[in-house]
Chains A and B, each alone.
Chain A
Amino acid sequence: MRTEDLVTMLAKGAGVVQPNQAARRYAAAIAWGASGAALLMVILLRPRPDLAAAMLLPMFWVKIAFVTSFAAASLLAALRLSRPGLSLAWVPGALFAPLLAIWLLATIVLARADAAQRAGLFFGDTWNSCPFLIALLSAPMFVAVVWAMKGLAPTRLRLAGTAAGLLSGAVGTMVYSLHCPEMAAPFIAFWYLLGMLIPTAVGALLGPRLLRW
């Protein structure tokens, strides 16, 4: 086949391309992924019964702020890695900032607590289920983000898969935090992060195979 013929064929009737397709695909992915996670949470776990009361406590909002800013940074990473030729630029910094903030807070809380309380602040009552439930709730978002990425053109597949995992983990955690009774910063700084890292590892592992085009 002559390249010129291919060019003519591709150009013929190529039509109009809608702008902002990346943003639109991700908006749809987040809507589906977050509703899927919310549905799973309501059916399997239920929101914490004292949610209304908890929402009056500052620590509840610290927790929400941590997961939300982490989710926003991983969304930026996923958006950039979904399109050819865009570097990550300052996005890794935006990912580490909320992590550093919660680690700092956790350190302060642990340092100020009595030695006898520290284990309780770290393990809470739910450490042994929290990471797995977060991974479970992130599953719908994982599928949705991979769908969004496959409709775009990631060129660094392992990194893109990692970002997809991170974003789904963060969205799963946002939904999970409406169920989770834990409020201590040391718990959140470790177990929430561990939960988000499960889909992240899956994404890094499967990225090259799932996202190839």
Chain B
Amino acid sequence: MQRMQETGRLNAGEERLRNLLLLGLAGDEPAYHAFLQELSAHLRAFLRKRLARLPDEVEDLVQESLLAIHNQRHTYDAGQPLTAWIHAIAKYKLVDLLRRRARRDLLTDPLDDESAFSSASDTEAADARRDLGKLLEQLPERQRLPIVHMKLEGLSVTQTARLTGMSESAVKVGVHRGLKALAAIVRGDA
């Protein structure tokens, strides 16, 4: 019943969200930005309900799912319901997180884990514990520089290529691989 309500509510906004994604995939950057922004609210609601006992993990997982959805956005089939695709990815990341925690708890004393007891505010906890700067430091230069210049400073491919002395295709590959590597670091196996 609860599940049905949830799908019903999502269906209303689903068409809008889907249009934004399709525009974004075709290269419309503001539309893609709007898609990701609405998506993060969806993900937060979806994951908060499923991680009620681990509220401190919610925002981390929202970000991990956002990164996963961005990196795998080429796997969305336009004929497919968008929520099915999004939820499948979010659930996959959720199960992965729970499995990681279970493994970690086997190794360490679970009572040391403060996060299980501290209560996080249920309002827009839009800040995660991870630090982007520290994550980026772990990437090799050929991936870090393209991400810093293009994705953070907003330079174009040509400008980034000139600044770093890399070729334009190396810049594009660097961004692509760098974001995949970030996802792997966040997942904890890189």
By a beta-carbon cutoff of 8 Å, the part of chain A in contact with chain B is: 1-19, 21-22, 82-86, 152-153, 155, 212-213
Confirm or deny: B154 has a beta carbon within 8 angstroms of a beta carbon on chain A.
yes
Do residues A84 and B37 form an inter-chain contact, with CB atoms below 8 A? Answer: no
Could you give, for residues 21-49 of chain B, a 1 whenever the CB lies within 8 Å of some chain A CB and a 0 otherwise?
00011110100110011001000000000
Q: Is the CB of B72 within 8 A of A10?
A: no
B-side interface residues, number (CB < 8 Å): 53
Query: Chain A: interface secondary structure?
Result: loop
Task: List chain B residues, Cβ under 8 A from A21.
Answer: 74-75
Chain B residues 126-164 with CB under 8 Å of chain A are 126-128, 130-132, 135, 147, 150-152, 154, 156-157
Q: List 8 A-B contacts (CB under 8 A).
A: A3-B63, A9-B147, A12-B29, A16-B25, A83-B75, A152-B72, A155-B89, A212-B96
CA of A83 to CA of B78, assembled, Å: 12
Q: Knowing A1-B63, A2-B127, A6-B66, say if A155 contacts B88 (CB, 8 Å).
A: yes
A44 to B157, CA, bound (A): 49
Do the beta carbons of B33 and A8 come within 8 Å of each other?
yes
* A17-B74, A152-B72, A152-B75 known; A6+B25 contact, CB < 8 A: no
Given A13-B157, A17-B25, A155-B92, A84 contacting B126 (CB threshold 8 A): no
Known A-B contacts: A14-B70, A22-B75. Give 18 more (CB < 8 A).
A1-B130, A1-B135, A3-B63, A3-B126, A3-B127, A7-B33, A10-B36, A10-B70, A13-B150, A15-B27, A17-B73, A18-B74, A22-B77, A83-B80, A84-B92, A85-B80, A153-B68, A155-B91
Kindly report which residue of chain B lies nearest to residue A86, judged by CB atoms: B80
> Within the complex, what minimum Cβ distance (angstroms) separates A199 from chain B?
24
